[in-house]
Amino acid sequence: MRPERLYGAYVFDMDGTIYLGDEVLPGVRDTLAFLRERGIPLRFLSNNPTKDPEQYAAKLARLGLPTPVDDSPTPSSPPCDGCVPTTPTPWCSPSRRSPSSGPCGRRASA
């Protein structure tokens, strides 16, 4: 089954949407392949703070769904894209900043 409408990017919850335990759910492989073939960005999220993005990326790879670590953030190290606060927040801590960038590693605006 193909989607009727394509979006510019997709965000998927992992447990119960992409996989259940150690099993990829039906249709997931074909759907992700379809989206990736078209160059559509994918992100995988979890609300489980007990695992870090490296552990989730490793699990997705074990399940045959290789995914870059940066594409599977968790509450313990959330994404900063689109987040440019002036003070640290749970989504954007000083440790994610660099001298040549604005908050969270984003280029400072001119």
- What separation, in Å, do the N-terminal and C-terminal C-alpha atoms of the chain show? 45
Distance CA 41, CA 110 (A): 27
Catalytic site residue from 13, 30, 70, 81: 13
Using CA atoms, how far residue 100 sits from 19, 79, 90, 103, in Å, is: 39, 19, 21, 10
Strand runs (DSSP E) across the chain, as ranges?
A: 10-13, 19-20, 23-24, 42-45
13 is annotated as an active-site residue: yes
81 is annotated as an active-site residue: no
Active site (catalytic) residues: 13, 15
